[in-house]
Amino acid sequence: MSAPFVPKQALEFDPRYLIKLSGGLTRTVADKVVSKCAPPLSSTSRIHDNGCGTGEVAKALIENGLVPAGATIAATDINTTFLGELNEVLKKNESWPVESKVMDATALTYPDNTFTLSISNMVFANVKDDVAAAKHVLRTLAPDGVGVVSVWRDSPWINVTIDAHYRTRGQDAALPLPLAASLYSTIELEKALDSAGVQNVQYEDVVVYGTMTDVKEWATIAWTFLSKPPSGWSQVDEDRWDEAIDIIVKDLTNGDFSHEENGVYKVKMVATAAVFRK
């Protein structure tokens, strides 16, 4: 059986591409979320970096001096590649009070009433069941514990990739799963939290700027890892690859959401953080 077709322009997987793809935004959002939304912590606090990825929430809490001596952080994710990246960081920072585990955000194995603070940063768009994820956040929070769930409200660089998809594949072409997941909005989040029984939710907007020094490289990374059709790559994708990249580059550099400073493009993104107390 022959290997699936892959366009010759597509990049081979490297975790560093995912860091470039995010433009540092996951960490930037984490920094703002922990500074705006995290309650004062104590030596007995237990913190959950839920769906931690490479541990950006844990890093933000520690590096911003918000974790007092004695407090601990549980960092969990289903993606072992991301956890591997985090574990490399933890090896270099052995004093950090962080324990990483492979765990599905929709099926947490922690006991009820465990955490003082639970932060799910850019997680709910990528889980198979957002209501289940919300229920587990609520279940594992201790009484009076604080939960924070952040999602994108306005993400123009996803929108430009979707634009390239429709313009090169047609308006009837099914969205690739990563792009479809990126359309998850505050409306879906509100529904999930409500269905999970979460009450008295406050919503905070978080404005951040993603940066890219090489817009064409970013477009190539995005098209490679976000736009693979549900049915798999085709020869048409290879033939129209350059056209798709050009669309993304032009949309990014000409949009009113971006500007250039000293050779670096900055793209405005807006996240929303849902904050609630158990």
Gap between the terminal Cα atoms of the chain: 54
Strand bridging mode 115-121 / 141-154 = parallel
DSSP-assigned states of every residue in 191-222: HHHHHTT--S-EEEEEEEEEEES-HHHHHHHH
Domain ranges of the chain: 15-158+177-211+260-277
DSSP-assigned states of every residue in 54-105: TTHHHHHHHHTT---TT-EEEEEES-HHHHHHHHHHHHH-TTS-EEEEE--T
Angle of helix 186-195 versus helix 130-140 axis, rounded to 10: 60
Q: In terms of Cα–Cα distance, which of 267, 178, 159, 257 is closest to 215?
A: 267
CATH superfamily, domain at 15-158+177-211+260-277:
Vaccinia Virus protein VP39 (3.40.50.150)
CA dist 150 and 123 (Å) reads 8
Q: Where are the alpha helices (DSSP H) in 117-276?
A: 130-140, 156-169, 177-181, 186-195, 215-226, 235-239, 241-254
Q: Is 271 in contact with 152 (CB distance < 8 Å)?
A: yes
Contacts of 266 (CB under 8 A, 6+ apart): 209, 210, 211, 258, 259, 260
Residue 212: predicted pLDDT: 85
CA dist 62 and 30 (Å) reads 11
Q: Which long-range contacts (CB under 8 A, 24 or more apart) does 136-140 make?
A: 136/105, 136/106, 136/107, 136/108, 137/50, 137/196, 137/198, 138/196, 138/197, 138/198, 138/278, 139/108, 139/112, 140/48, 140/108, 140/110, 140/111, 140/112, 140/113, 140/114, 140/115
Residue 211: predicted pLDDT: 85
List 136's β-bridge partners, or say none: none
CA dist 271 and 182 (Å) reads 12
Per-residue pLDDT of the chain (278 residues; tens, 9 = 90+): 678 999 999 999 887 787 788 767 889 999 999 999 999 999 999 999 999 999 999 999 999 999 999 999 999 999 998 999 999 999 999 999 999 999 999 999 999 999 999 999 999 999 999 999 999 999 999 999 999 999 999 888 889 999 999 999 999 999 999 999 888 989 999 999 999 999 999 999 999 988 888 999 999 999 999 999 999 999 999 999 999 999 999 999 888 887 888 888 888 899 999 999 99
> What is the Cα 38 distance to its own chain's centre?
18
Size of the chain, expressed as the number of residues it contains: 278
**119 φ, ψ (degrees, to nearest 5):** -120, 125
CB-neighbour burial class of residue 7 (10 A; exposed 0-12, middle 13-18, buried 19+): middle
**194 φ, ψ (degrees, to nearest 5):** -65, -45
